[in-house]
Chain A
Amino acid sequence: MSNSKFDCVVIGAGLSGMSAAITVAQAGKKVLLLDQHNLPGGCASSFVRGRFEFDASLHEFCGLGKPGDWGLPGKIMMEDHGLDVNWLYIPELYRCVGTARSGRKFDTVLPTGEEELIEKMEELVPGSREPMKVFLSLAKECVEANDYFSANMSTVKKDGMLKTDSLYFMKNFSNFLKVAERPFNEVMRKIGMPEDAIDLLDVYWTYIGADYEKMSFVHQAWMVYMYTHYQPTINKENAHGLSMACVEKLRELGGELWLNTRALKVCADKEGNITGVLTDVGMVETNYVIANVNPEIAYNKLLDENVKVPVREFKRVNAEKHGIRFFNAYVACNKSVEELGIKDYTIFMPGSLDNAQNIKDSKSYEDNTHSVVVIYNVVNPDASPKGTCTMTFTICYTEDVWGDFTQREYVHKKQELFQKVMDNFEKDTGIIIHDCIEEIELASPWTFAHFLNTPEGTTYGYMVDDWDTMLSRLMAIRKDQPIKGFKTCGAAGARGDGYNMTYTNGWDMANIILEEMEGK
């Protein structure tokens, strides 16, 4: 019979919570991980329909790397945590079909590998070779600066912000200091990138959802470099397999996972010291809690009244803007990718390559049919039974456009939208799928709100806005978490969205909790 007292309780077994739990358990602490669902993973999950298993969310993991050359997320996951995961590498960045602002139509495949990408861009948009070299060099510096920064986050200044070694940065990352926080498109123009080339690289917009005329260079540069250098990756056993690898590791380290167990309150004594977590199994004693929960939900609902939440924290969560949310269509066809003539893993079909237009459309139900599709079998022949394939279409919204639909019209709205998306896909690619769909599931922000309980069904935490940049958040990573013994992690955390970022953020917050445990 296990005692209900733990060194640390992690609330929420999303990827970030699991990363936090493993990190704390690896330090020899007794850890309990709770999740309100009957299976772990949060977004990192899968579901079964008929003879198919659908990955709920993993399109392509960014920045994993390979043994001897790990990206930061890969290093934490594979080297530090030693997860047993069978990764598959995707040889292309993406195929994209769309019209640039210049009016030029593109249907092209961008390769991975710095040299390959530079040559391809030059071939597509003459004059981009030199700027591409500069861009990738700057992007690499951003990654290195970010890694250095991530490894040196323990000293805090009087104002609560991280203390950085500015001389070291000036000496080693001077370009980073100059461009990291400048708007992405502005930097691209200043280094002489042709406008068509900017449009082609901005296609990753769907994965971020921000305005590239305002969003910091570092954000997109980091992603493009990580995908280009390390290749996008997926787990052979999909996102659920990744979550199960995390759970196995946690158990190996003596940690426990309680499923279908809701954390009702994080409790504290009169002085505000964390004393435990009230769950629907009863009280679990602990002095340290990491919540893989959106901070506004944590502050407004999870913490009991004894916990002193600084006014600045309520202001912070009120200042934040909810990030992007998705419509997903999970489709299984009873034909193989060969039969369907599918060659590309990721196809972006934004219609227009104009970032401003895409943002405008992302606030509307009618105008937003810009989708990206990933077709798992192109990289993972075992993703579905022989002679079949599975794919996921995704549409990104920057605002709530689903909240006003009635219960009665809801299903029709999902179907009407996917009909448009599928028509566009068939028109753009010539790949015909409408007559061979064996299983299909349509998920909207309602679905994500149901499974994740996030505000407005958002999956990407808070918008990485022009003022709320990743670096500013990182500088304030300790200031934003002022409650001793209680931290939040996840997509709404310092690093923003994506499996790589949330996994890394779980590790960040676990390290801070470990310091607090040691009385630092």
Chain B
Amino acid sequence: MSKVKLKNYGLKDIMYFTNKPKEREKRIEAASSQKSGAVFKVNEKAAERHPEQQEFVIEKITDRGEGVKSYTLRKKDGTNPAFFRAGQYVVIRQEIDGKLIARPVSISSGPVETLDGTIEVTVKLVPDGFLSKYIIANWKVGDEVKTSGPQGLFYYEGFRDEKKVVACSGGSGITPILSMAKAIASGDEDFELTVLYGSKNRNEILFADEFAEVMAKTDKVKLVNVLSEEEAEGYESGFITADLIKKYAGDDKYSLFASGPQVMYEFLDKETDRLGLDLKHYRKEIFGSVKQPWTLPGYPAEAKDKVFNLKVKMCNKEYEIPCNANENMLVALERAGIAGPNRCRGGVCGWCRSRLISGEVFIPELTDRRRGADKKYGYIHPCASFAISDCEIEVPNNK
């Protein structure tokens, strides 16, 4: 570009230029000199919605049978719990023997109940489960408990999901689905939900009354109990197969939501192949870590049962801890009492993201949800990584 000559501008404009900073000084001089304690509405709303921590008091405990208990929690400071999307979870943070243990637990209440000051979480006793055993045995009315804010991505999203949703659920995996059903009844969600709920027998069915209550309020929710070890009138029997899904989905387009134990997903994955469902239409709630990594393809057999040395750098501190190859690396950090932020325990949320400085880890493909650049630069999600040699990692501060 060759330089131009401007006819319409002259010295006065240069004066204008040089005066600009002076004008700014005048504006500054005229402003208040008060130290500002300004609180902004948006920031307040964001803090209510995404609290780092919520401190609750246990208000009520409901025994659901089958080793399942629900806990109604009210905020200690009297404010409302964070509003959530039906299907989300909170992370329970419980100190056990001086070590902070964190585990995701489903919310079984509907989002609108937060406006009355409570949420309800439901815990199932898992035979080898560390935290569930503790909670079922120890939590009593009046106890104080801490959780994260609402987390997780297993919820209905109208831009993505079809108006019709078939939910396949097994065991205590019913809780997020129950929350969705309640949200439909309260008008917070708007979709048609058909729940295929797998249990061994009628005695194992959880939340029958709660579903009945929802269905009395709305005809958008339907419940089909599927019994694998009993035949009874008014119940489907067998497993949740492609044919059964088709039977209840009808001819409309539908999205399939799945929430249950690992074995149910393994079964369902084959059935959904037969249904020709693409990823948009098949959503799985996976929380909890991969168990028995040695059964997965690519795992080096010789690592199994070994205990490796794990060097950990956390800000200005360094630790050396044992790391059992059979457990994910976050468990090793937790056992040592130095676990930092974590939420999903299934590789998805990225909160435990850490730098692998040296050593080798096994990352199951199923739960490898790392960012592209993190893979390139050697970052891992310890909750979804298993040490297969001595390792050194740098972790975020555990506050």
Contacts and interface: CB of A to CB of B under 8 A. Distances in A.
Interface of A: 1-4, 38-39, 46-51, 53, 114, 133-134, 136-138, 140-141, 161, 170, 175, 177-182, 190-191, 216, 237-238, 240-241, 243-244, 247-248, 258-262, 280-282, 284, 296, 299-300, 311-312, 314-319, 325, 331, 334, 400, 402-405, 407-408, 410-411, 415, 418-419, 422, 434, 436-440, 445-447, 449-450, 453, 455-457, 467-469, 471-473, 475-476
Given A38-B340, A450-B46, A410 B83 contact: yes
Nearest to A301: B37
B8 A190 contact: yes
Contacts, number: 247
B370 interface: yes
Given A181-B16, A244-B374, A457-B46, 14 more contacts: A38-B341, A48-B369, A48-B371, A137-B3, A141-B3, A177-B17, A182-B16, A237-B373, A240-B374, A405-B45, A408-B111, A449-B42, A468-B24, A476-B25
A407 B14 contact: no
- What 4 pairs between A and B have smallest CB-CB spacing? A403-B41, A260-B396, A319-B31, A178-B9
Contact of A469 (B24, B43, B318, B351): B24
B33 A446 contact: no
Contact of B159 (A38, A280, A440, A476): A440
B273 to A, nearest CB: 17
Interface residues of B, number: 79
B49 interface: yes
A331 B396 CA distance: 30
Contact of B371 (A4, A240, A247, A471): A240
A138 B4 CA distance: 8
B240 to A, nearest CB: 22
Contacts of A137: 1-4
Given A38-B340, A50-B279, A440-B160, A457 B43 contact: yes
A314 B49 CA distance: 30
B115 interface: yes
Given A38-B353, A318-B31, A446-B46, A261 B315 contact: yes
Given A137-B2, A244-B376, A178 B14 contact: yes
Contacts of B111: 408
A101 B187 CA distance: 43
B397 interface: yes
Contacts of A281: 315-317, 397
B280 A436 contact: yes
A319 B4 contact: no
Nearest to B280: A438
Given A48-B369, A261-B397, A407-B83, A402 B42 contact: yes
Contacts of A238: 372-373
Nearest to A244: B373
B17 A318 contact: no
Contacts of A48: 348, 350, 369-371
Nearest to A457: B42
Contacts of B376: 237, 241, 244
Contacts of B85: 411
Contacts of A46: 371-373
A3 B20 CA distance: 47
B46 A177 contact: no
A446 B48 CA distance: 10
Contacts of B4: 133-134, 137-138, 175
Nearest to B279: A438
A240 B373 contact: yes
Nearest to A299: B35
Contacts of B372: 46, 53, 237-238, 240-241
Given A178-B17, A450-B49, A316 B83 contact: no
Contacts of A400: 40-42
Contacts of B32: 314-315, 318
B28 A315 contact: yes
Contacts of B160: 437-440
A259 B379 CA distance: 13
B40 A469 contact: no
Interface string B363-399: 0000001111110110000000000000000001111
With most chain B CB atoms within 10 A of its CB, the pick from A3, A4, A39, A411 is: A411
Contacts of A411: 85
Contact of B34 (A177, A282, A314, A410): A314
Contact of A334 (B9, B280, B397): B280
Contact of B40 (A53, A247, A449): A449
Contacts of A50: 279
A473 B82 CA distance: 40
B247 interface: no
A305 to B, nearest CB: 11
A262 B48 CA distance: 20
Nearest to B85: A411
B250 interface: no
Nearest to B7: A190
B35 A300 contact: yes
A190 to B, nearest CB: 4
Given A446-B42, A468-B24, A133 B159 contact: no
Contacts of B157: 440
A465 B377 CA distance: 41
B30 A319 contact: yes
Nearest to A133: B1
Given A136-B1, A446-B42, A472-B24, A260 B36 contact: no
A323 B150 CA distance: 30
B205 to A, nearest CB: 31
Nearest to A312: B28
A253 B10 CA distance: 50
B50 interface: yes
Contact of B396 (A178, A259, A455): A259
B268 to A, nearest CB: 17
